[in-house]
């Protein structure tokens, strides 16, 4: 017998599993790598923003100090009465040639706070405006001193009066070392351009380009702001800073990989952790780039869009503008350094996980071979021998497997006995089947004849069903046409809009067309008559009654000019009995309804109404309680008295009053437990909704109705109208 190896694909499964594990691991490494790259870029963005924030702290001190000094100085310059002559003015002296004046004689205890004040010409004892400017400058000297103290790297703070040709200088420098001169005035217009009156930023702090300080302080830049007298530029307030403080801030913001640096609008390096210090000369931005991309990056640097990663060669370049300046902060990093850093982190974890999986698979395979696969293969051999009816062999298998060898042997022994029994039973069964087949053949012939008869009946039913569907379709077409006619008879929307502030209409026929109706007659812009009615029945009979009633109402009011609500109902009762010949036919068809006549009078409405078994409700703006309009118990039409009389009621309602009219269909609707909504519950729902807009009230009432009648059929036509006076 051919030997069967049921575990032939076991090793293939193992190799496939290992391949899947390796591919999955590589995919996970790739996904993690991409995620880490994105995270590194986000960290770079975050680092740049933090660096900008750190620089903002440093630059903000300078800006705030200049703004405060400018505001204080302009206050004194533009308000002479707010300024008293400073005692320090007594220390002002002129030089021997009377070509300039100075404050060299200030006592040392005042020099720190006051600084030195020097200018061209003689002392302005006979010039009030000049004297006011000098006193104002002396008064803001402590602020200039404060700017010097609060800004690290600051070397000089000053108030420069260009039109009046003098300067207040901090720290104190004697006039023999520094004094105001025509050359200094001319140089100031180059370093600090005049403010253009059309410039929207003329009152903002501005920053100069980097320059080499003549006093030996190295590379510097200046923050300055213009100040004005009567909206005319008078001069500037300035602060000279070395770039060392900016370099220190940038150096603290550096990451392990990459370089962060700051450039000016003309691509000068303003701050760099290695290349820039106040003792060096001015460098261009090209110096900050490596040789491989130096020329290309320097050429394209000005066109790099902020907040985007630009790739040049093997480098990422990320830039952002620094607020309130014309400077740009840039992060430069070799992305291969980032890739290698990420690979080092991911490789260790991946190698550890894969190694653990391989070790587990090795020992699991060894254990499975010994405890399961080898015994199972022996069991297969045993089954083949038993199937071939060969003698059993002794197999070396674990103790828990030996039971299955015995069970298999017993199963085959029992199976052979059963086969013999089945052989005998099959012979008997064949005889019985032959006999039964003959009987079934006879029965099938009878069934065939019955089936032919059923087919004939089915065809007849199908023909009748098709005819019924055609008739039903014609009926539905007629009903849809009737619905169109009925809608045309009902009042148009513009008639409601012409008289009422707002309104809504909930109109739901039970069977396509409705026995409920509403009718409206506007006699004049200030007077309107409206009726809401519920005719006997619904569907086509009810719709016929609504058409008859609407026609009779038009005749009574528009033709016969009857305006009294009670008289309208009485005439309608008589006309219906006559039209339907109810005395002859004993027909009890009629309707319930209410007629309201409304007249506008300033901010009030006079409401005269009469009702036949119909209750309406109203809510005034001043009283949140819902109130009911009185109703007669008499019915319109039907058998009985030939004429009926109805009572008129008159009330006066303020503008904004809400009136609710309708049939009893809403209140009589059942829920799944056959419980009606009822009038009291209807009043409660109207009470809850009355503070909403009428469109929202309609939605609220329809939602409540749908919830109540869920899983039930509509039992009657429904009509509910809300009106706002």
**Contact in structure between 260 and 253 (CB atoms under 8 Å):** yes
> In terms of Cα–Cα distance, which of 292, 297, 291, 296 is closest to 330?
297
Give 165-197 pLDDT, tens digit per residue.
899 998 988 888 888 888 888 888 888 888 766
Tell me if 4 sits within 8 A of 380, measured CB to CB. yes
The strand pair at 154-161 and 232-242 is best described as antiparallel
Instruction: Tell the residue number behind the tokens 């919830």, with chain if given.
Output: 707
Q: Are 621 and 724 within 8 A, CB to CB?
A: no
At 5 the pLDDT is 58
Give the whole-number percent of the chain exceeding pLDDT 90.
31
Indicate if the pLDDT at residue 529 is higher than 90.
yes
CA distance 383 to 381: 5
Task: Classify residue 561 by its DSSP letter.
Answer: -
Q: Which of 219, 237, 262 is nearest to 141 (CA)?
A: 237
The arithmetic mean of pLDDT across residues 31-44, rounded, is 86
Question: Which has the closest alpha carbon to 83: 75, 92, 91?
Answer: 75
DSSP string across 321-334: EPTTSS-EEEEEEE
The pLDDT of residue 326 is 87
Cα–Cα distance, 588 to 575 (Å, whole number): 14
Mean pLDDT of 152-157: 87
**CA dist., res. 33 & res. 44, Å (int):** 16
- Count of H-run helices and E-run strands, the chain: 16, 25
Look up residue 618 and give its two tokens: 């109203």
Is the pLDDT higher at 462 or at 521? Answer: 521
Give the pLDDT of residue 35. Answer: 86
Q: Give the model's pLDDT for residue 40.
A: 87
What are residue 522's DSSP bridge partners? 528
**pLDDT at position 281 over 90:** no
pLDDT in tens, 663-674: 999 999 999 999
Most distant CA pair in the chain: distance in Å?
Answer: 154
CA distances from 322 to 151, 248, 328, 461, 635 (A): 19, 17, 6, 88, 86
Q: At what angle do helices 244-252 and 10-78 cross, to 10 degrees?
A: 150
Find the mean pLDDT for residues 685-714.
94
Going from N- to C-terminal start, the domains of the chain cover 79-242, 490-724
**Residue 596 pLDDT level (bands cut at 50, 70, 90):** very high
Three-state DSSP state, 461: helix
What's the rounded mean pLDDT across residues 589-617? Answer: 94
Burial class (CB in 10 A: 0-12, 13-18, 19+), 78: middle
Quick check: 712 pLDDT over 90?
yes
Interval 431-449: pLDDT, tens: 888 788 887 888 888 888 8
Show the tokens assigned to 35.
């995620």
Q: What is the pLDDT of residue 198?
A: 66
Which CATH topology does 490-724 take? Phosphatase 2c; domain 1 (3.60.40)
pLDDT at 6 over 60: no
Give the tens place of pLDDT for each residue, 39-54: 888 988 888 898 888 8
The predicted pLDDT at position 552 comes to 95
Cα–Cα distance for residue pair 692/698, rounded to 1 Å = 10
DSSP 50-95: HHHHHHHHHHHHHHHHHHHHHHHHHHHHH-GGG-PPPGGGGG-EE-
Per-residue pLDDT tens digits for 248-257: 888 887 888 8
CA 334/CA 311 separation, integer angstroms: 10
CA distance 40 to 333: 11
> Are 263 and 271 within 8 A, CB to CB?
no
Beta strand 502-508 with 269-271 is unpaired
H or E stretch at 147 = helix 141-150
What secondary structure does DSSP assign to 371-425, as a single string? IIIHHHHHHHHHHHHHHTTPPP------HHHHHHHHHHHHHHHHHHHHHHHHHHH
Phi and psi torsions of 164, nearest 5°: -95, 0
**133 exposure class (CB count in 10 Å sphere: 0-12, 13-18, 19+):** buried
Residue 303, SS3 per DSSP: helix
Question: Which pLDDT band holds residue 67 (cuts at 50, 70, 90)?
Answer: very high
Q: Which candidate, 664, 696, 695, places its Cα nearest to that of 677?
A: 664
Cα dihedral: 590, 596, 597, 601 (round 10): 180
HSE value, Cβ hemisphere, 13 Å, CA-based, for 209: 12
> Which pLDDT score is estimated for 2?
53
Please give the CATH number for the structural domain made up of 79-242.
3.30.450
Q: What is the pLDDT of residue 691?
A: 93
A 10 A CB-CB count for 378 gives 17
Report phi then psi at 28, rounded to 5. -65, -40
Position 618 confidence tier, pLDDT thresholds 50, 70, 90: very high
- pLDDT score of 324 more than 60: yes
Given a cut of 80, is residue 321 above it in pLDDT? Answer: yes
């Amino acid at each position: 017998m051919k030997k069967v190896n049921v575990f032939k694909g076991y090793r293939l499964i193992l190799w496939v599993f290992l391949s899947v594990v390796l591919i999955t691991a590589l995919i996970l490494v790739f996904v993690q790598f991409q995620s880490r790259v994105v995270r590194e870029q986000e960290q770079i963005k975050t680092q740049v923003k933090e660096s900008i924030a750190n620089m903002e702290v440093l630059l903000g001190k300078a800006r705030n100090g200049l703004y405060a000094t400018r505001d204080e100085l302009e206050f004194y310059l533009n308000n002479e009465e707010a300024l008293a002559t400073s005692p320090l003015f007594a220390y002002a002296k002129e030089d021997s040639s009377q070509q300039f004046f100075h404050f060299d004689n200030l006592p040392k205890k005042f020099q720190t706070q006051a600084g030195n004040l020097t200018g061209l010409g003689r002392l302005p004892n006979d010039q009030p405006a000049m004297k006011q400017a000098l006193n104002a400058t002396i008064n803001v000297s402590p602020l200039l001193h404060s700017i010097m103290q609060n800004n690290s790297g600051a070397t000089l703070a000053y108030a420069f009066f260009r039109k009046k040709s003098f300067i207040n200088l901090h720290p104190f420098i004697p006039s023999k070392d520094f004094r105001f001169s025509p050359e200094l005035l001319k140089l100031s217009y180059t370093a600090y351009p005049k403010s253009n009156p059309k410039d929207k930023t003329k009152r903002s702090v501005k920053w100069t380009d980097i320059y080499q300080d003549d006093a030996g302080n190295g590379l510097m830049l200046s923050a300055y702001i213009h100040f004005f007298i009567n909206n005319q530029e008078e001069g500037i307030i300035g602060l000279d800073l070395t770039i060392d403080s900016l370099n220190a801030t940038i150096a603290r913001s550096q990451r392990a990989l990459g370089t962060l640096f700051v450039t000016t609008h003309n691509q000068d390096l303003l701050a760099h952790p290695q290349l820039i210090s106040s003792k060096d000369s001015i460098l261009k931005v090209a110096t900050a780039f490596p040789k491989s991309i130096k020329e290309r990056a320097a050429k394209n640097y000005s066109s790099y869009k902020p907040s985007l990663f630009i790739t040049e060669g093997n480098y990422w370049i990320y830039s952002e503008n620094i607020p309130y300046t014309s400077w740009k902060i840039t992060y430069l990093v070799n992305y291969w350094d980032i890739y290698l850093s990420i690979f080092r982190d991911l490789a260790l974890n991946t190698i550890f996980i894969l190694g653990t999986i391989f070790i587990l698979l090795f020992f699991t395979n060894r254990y499975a071979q010994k405890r399961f696969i080898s015994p199972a293969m022996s069991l297969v051999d045993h089954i083949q021998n038993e199937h071939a009816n060969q003698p059993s062999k002794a197999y070396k298998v674990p103790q828990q497997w030996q039971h299955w060898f015995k069970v298999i042997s017993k199963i085959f022994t029992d199976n052979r006995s059963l086969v013999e029994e089945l052989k005998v039973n099959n012979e008997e069964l064949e005889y019985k089947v032959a006999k039964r087949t003959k009987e079934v053949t006879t029965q099938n012939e009878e069934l065939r004849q019955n089936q032919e008869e059923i087919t004939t009946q089915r065809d007849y039913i199908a023909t009748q069903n098709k005819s019924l569907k055609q008739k039903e379709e014609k009926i539905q077409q007629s009903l849809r046409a009737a619905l169109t006619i009925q809608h045309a008879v009902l009042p148009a929307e513009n008639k409601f809009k012409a008289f009422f502030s707002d309104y809504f209409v909930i109109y739901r026929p039970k069977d396509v067309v409705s026995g409920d109706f509403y009718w409206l007659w506007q006699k004049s812009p200030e007077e309107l008559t409206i009726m809401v009615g519920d005719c006997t029945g619904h569907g086509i009979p009810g719709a016929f009654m609504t058409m008859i009633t609407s026609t009779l109402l038009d005749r009574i009011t528009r033709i016969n000019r009857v305006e009294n609500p009670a008289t309208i109902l009485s005439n309608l009762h008589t006309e219906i009995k006559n039209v339907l010949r109810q005395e002859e036919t004993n027909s009890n068809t009629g309707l319930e309804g209410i007629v309201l006549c409304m007249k506008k009078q300033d901010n009030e409405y006079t409401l005269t109404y009469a009702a036949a078994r119909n209750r309406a409700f109203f809510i005034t703006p001043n009283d949140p309680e819902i109130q009911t309009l009185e109703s007669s118990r008499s019915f319109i039409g039907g058998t009985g008295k030939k004429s009926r009389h109805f009572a008129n009621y008159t009330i006066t309602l303020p503008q904004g009053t809400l009136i609710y009219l309708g049939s009893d269909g809403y209140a009589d609707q059942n829920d799944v437990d056959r419980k009606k909504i009822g009038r009291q519950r209807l009043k409660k729902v109207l009470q809850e909704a009355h503070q909403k807009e009428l469109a929202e009230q309609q939605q609220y009432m329809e939602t409540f109705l749908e919830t109540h009648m869920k899983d039930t059929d509509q039992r009657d036509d429904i009509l509910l109208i809300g009106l706002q006076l």
